[in-house]
Structure 1
Amino acid sequence: MKKTIYLSFFCTSLLLGAGYQIPNNSVNSNALATAYVANANGADAAYFNPANMVYNQDKNEIEVSLSYIDLPSMKYTPTSGTTPIHTQQHQTVIPSLHYVSPKLSDNGIRLGLSISVPYGLTREWTDQPAMSTAKKFSLKTIELNPSIAIPITNQFSVAFGVRYVRGEGEVELNALPIYSVNMSGDDDAFAYNIAISYKPTDELNLALTYRSPLTLNTKGSAVVTSPWFSGTTGASLAVEIPDNLILAGAYTFNNATTIEITYDKTFWSKVTETDFNYENTSLEASPLGRITPKVWKDTTVYRLGITHKFKNALTLMCGIAYSNNAADEAYVSYSSPESNSMTYSFGGRYQLNDNLDIGLSLLYADYEDRTSNQGNATGVNGTFSEKDAYSLTSGMRYRF
């Protein structure tokens, strides 16, 4: 039970299938399937690789964007051949803002700021047996990430940032007449990020970024009906977000075409248990309050992005990514139907004048069907399908 609750907070928020990032925090990142680290430029470098801020024009630069995300109705087909069930379709709009300062000193130090929604969506089942363990799971977050970039030499720069994350979560389970749970809570947490960029030549850029782990100790209340307790009680859930490491390299041909390859790893194996707590002692001692160990593996995403700048004001981008999943078959559940995925993306920017450009990008995440026969472990004995996701991002970038 608790394993299901924990996985839902995160796996329902995944758009690329591994880790926890939503790639819609700027037009370029969405257009390149987030193969946008070594070649990160402009205001959104403040989020994707702040060490690259030192290579921006010596101006203030700001970017705002909106992402529309569509999670179609997911299908579950039991092995027994009974009627398939579906989740509700979920749609949402996510804003983001990025800023990079001009040089603050002769040595080229820059400041950056990103306000983004790095993870959080909603998954809701409307039929049994899924409602018993995964009726609704929702997570809303916002991240504030100021950073500073310091050039060490003309070819080498480093950056440091502080991450403030605020999260609100909601969980609903419905297995009446046995039990039902409606829990909501919120919390905030601090973490850090670092970035390194190395440009041995004008054409080649190598980069590393790292985001430290953090824990949201979401605290709130739960309305419960059960054999162990019925009523309202305080409740909490420690939501652990593991650390993330990205290695990237980008090469530019003829000052026009840039190809980037990234290796993106999220350390899910460090998250080893789930502990969903209730203030009511009888409920805490029940199966709903039991600590559940978890065996997950780290996830890896391989990304390829291509950017081409035409001689006019147009820039086109495309990307592709492959991601494995964190959960073995025994951990596949209605709330966490993880599977490997391929992501495809395309987009462009148009320069309106020396200071202003606009952009639009589309991303499609194609998830493999996932079958589990581990009914005794998670209650799942069937196949999840139709899990694909779509996102459309538009944005504007302004220099002054």
Structure 2
Amino acid sequence: MKKIIALSVITSGLLTAAGYKIPEQSLNSMALGAAYVAHTTGADTNYYNPAAMSFMVDKQYVEGGVTLAHLPSNEYTLMDPYSGESEEENIWIPNAHYVANAIGNFRWGVSLTAPGGLTKRWNTPFQKLYAEEFTLKIVELNPSASYKVTDNFSIGGGVRIIYSEGVVNSDGADAGAPLKREMEGDTIEFGYNLAMLYKPTNDINLAITYRSNVDLKESGQANLYFGGVGKQYDADVTVPLPAALNIAISKTWNNTFTLEAVYERTYWSKYKTLDFNYGSPIANPILDGAFNAPIDKEWKDTNTFRFGATVVLDKITLMMGLAIDETPVPDKTIGFELPDSDATIFSMGFRYQQTDALSWGAAFLYDGKDARALAPGIAENMVLSNGGGFTGGGAYLTTVGVAYEF
């Protein structure tokens, strides 16, 4: 299995949020469009708000699920021969969560998630020059613990253990540029998460969570070719998996109907440049200029507004969500590896209580990307500087999951 190196890969993205992170990592969070911070109910509480574990019934919780992410093609339209269309992608994303019994006022849990990544492939000439294939996988192991400070206030936190691997290929032959690159690498990095939950009344929850920035230093090999002649280099590049702050409030009526609102601030401004480093000098000046010069990114911090509703009807729980998501990518530094834009997200799902201990369900999420027009002379990318625009893209995600309590 190839392990990639390219920060460009990380740069390439996000399945269901702007940038390249994936916030929906369980059945409930998918159904609610990640408006799932203040009012969490299952084993995935460990991931979304570990402080809330303190208020769960004293038993063990385990759940798992799998998501099929369908990524429609992106279309870039300008004039022949510059127009192009990316490949459609289908990606499986698993998740698993566990919360243990309470130990006095302490409680612990662990989650295994895939908080970012995707595959973007272009077979059209001028897009292959930059992004023939960008594939990124990120897996996070997140053990956390909570402490009940008072009967209505708790705190929590944990360690983020992140492994990522990927692949990045580009080929300019069809566009008349005899340049080609093949890169691979991987890394293990660490971060942390913090959380608090305050219950001013039995039916209102106030929550704050924070996930730290993690710099992913992808290290491996890069094969660079000019005119069919290539050389292998040790290489590394660093990109941020950005910090995120969530502030949430939920209100429940008659233990039946819950509304939650979440404000999320993602600190993408950490991503200023994409700079590859090589173990030895690149002798060919054309290859050096194409693959060694730092690339401006200048991403901006973004706001996301999420709203979720949960209705409990006997054995069936119905959920739906809406989110408004900003892109961090400015027109100046947009590229074919991540032709991102603002998005509106709609989601829905259900959970069926099969027995007192066993439940299962399904959820669906649609991430609709806005069309993005580019004025000539703005983008630094050679092709995109001509203007044109992107349409399509986005994502359709379908999740199935099962939970057990004992």
Instruction: Classify the TM-score, shorter chain.
Output: over 0.9
Aligned to 1:289: 292
Equivalent residues of 1:143, 1:165 under 8 A apart: yes
Relative distance call for 1:12 and 1:130 in structure 2 (3 A) is same
Q: Does 1:280 align with 2:286?
A: no
Which of 329, 332, 357 lines up with 2:331 in the alignment?
Answer: 329
Q: Shift of residue 293 of structure 1?
A: 3.4
Aligned partner letter, 1:363: L
Equivalent residues of 2:15, 2:394 under 8 A apart: no
Q: Does 1:166 align with 2:167?
A: no
Pairing of 1:229-244 with structure 2 (within 5 A): 230-244=230-244
Moved over 6 A (4+): none
Aligned to 1:89: 88
Aligned to 1:193: 193
Aligned to 2:54: 54
Q: Shift of residue 73 of structure 1?
A: 1.6
Deviations 1:141-177 (A, max 9, x none): 1100000000000110000100100000211111134
Aligned to 2:128: 131
Q: TM-score, normalised by structure 1?
A: 0.94
Deviations 1:337-393 (A, max 9, x none): 111100000001010111110011000000001122355611212111111210000
Q: TM-score, normalised by structure 2?
A: 0.92
Relative distance call for 1:208 and 1:394 in structure 2 (3 A) is same
Aligned partner letter, 2:98: Y
CA distance in 2, matches of 1:284, 1:237: 20
Q: Could you say what secondary structure the match of 1:16 adopts? A: coil
Q: CA RMSD in A?
A: 1.8
CA distance in 2, matches of 1:298, 1:228: 41
Structure 2 spans left out of the alignment, 5+ residues: 1-5
Deviates more, 1:367-376 or 1:248-257: 367-376
Q: Shift of residue 226 of structure 1?
A: 2.4
CA distance in 2, matches of 1:11, 1:370: 17
Give me the identity figure in percent.
Answer: 35
Deviations 1:204-231 (A, max 9, x none): 0000000111111111111110279822
Deviates more, 1:327-336 or 1:36-45: 327-336
Pairing of 1:167-186 with structure 2 (within 5 A): 167-176=164-173, 177-186=177-186
Aligned to 1:223: 223
CA distance in 2, matches of 1:199, 1:397: 26
Equivalent residues of 1:329, 1:374 under 8 A apart: no
Aligned to 1:338: 340
Deviates more, 1:60-69 or 1:286-295: 286-295
CA distance in 2, matches of 1:54, 1:124: 45
Equivalent residues of 1:330, 1:374 under 8 A apart: no
Equivalent residues of 1:219, 1:237 under 8 A apart: yes
Aligned partner letter, 1:321: A
Q: Shift of residue 33 of structure 1?
A: 0.4
Q: Shift of residue 84 of structure 1?
A: 3.8
Aligned to 1:9: 10
Aligned to 2:154: 157
Q: Shift of residue 72 of structure 1?
A: 1.2
Aligned partner letter, 2:339: P
Aligned to 1:307: 310
CA distance in 1, matches of 2:153, 2:26: 25
